[in-house]
Amino acid sequence: MSIELWYWPDIPGRGEFVRLFCEAFEVDYTDMAREQSADAMVEHMHGLSGIRPFAPPYIVDGEVIIGQTPLILQYLSDKEGHGSGEMETDLGLLQLQLDIADFVEEVHSVHHPVAHDLYYADQMDAAFEKAAYFRAQRIPKYLIHFDNAIAASGGPFMLGQQPSHVDTSLFQVMEGLDYAFPRYMKEMQGHWPHLEGLQGAVPEIEGVADYLASEQRLEFSEDGIFRHYEELDEQ
Ligand X SMILES: N[C@@H](CCC(=O)N[C@@H](CS)C(=O)NCC(=O)O)C(=O)O
DSSP string, 16-51: HHHHHHHHHTT--EEEHHHHS-HHHHHHHHHH--SS
Query: Could you give the angle at which helices 139-153 and 87-111 cross, rounded to 10 degrees?
Result: 160
Q: Is position 18 an interface residue for ligand X (rule: CB under 6 A)?
A: no
Residue 193 CB, shortest distance to ligand X, in Å, is 28
Nearer to ligand X, 185 or 225 (CB): 225
Q: Is position 101 an interface residue for ligand X (rule: CB under 6 A)?
A: yes
Distance, in Å, from the CA atom of 47 to the CA atom of 73, rounded to the nearest integer, reads 24
Q: Is position 12 an interface residue for ligand X (rule: CB under 6 A)?
A: no
Q: Is position 9 an interface residue for ligand X (rule: CB under 6 A)?
A: no
Distance, in Å, from the CA atom of 88 to the CA atom of 79, rounded to the nearest integer, reads 17
Residue 150 CB, shortest distance to ligand X, in Å, is 22
Asked whether 54 and 67 are in contact (CB, 8 A), the reply is yes
Residue 228 CB, shortest distance to ligand X, in Å, is 18
Number of neighbouring beta carbons within 10 Å of residue 148: 12
> Rounded to the nearest 5 degrees, what angle is found at the Cα of 156, between the Cα atoms of 149 and 151?
30
Q: Is position 168 an interface residue for ligand X (rule: CB under 6 A)?
A: no
Chain positions 45 to 64 lying near ligand X, rule: CB under 6 A, are 55-57
Size of the site for ligand X (CB under 6 A): 9
Nearer to ligand X, 57 or 163 (CB): 57
Contacts to ligand X by CB under 6 A: 13-14, 55-57, 67-69, 101
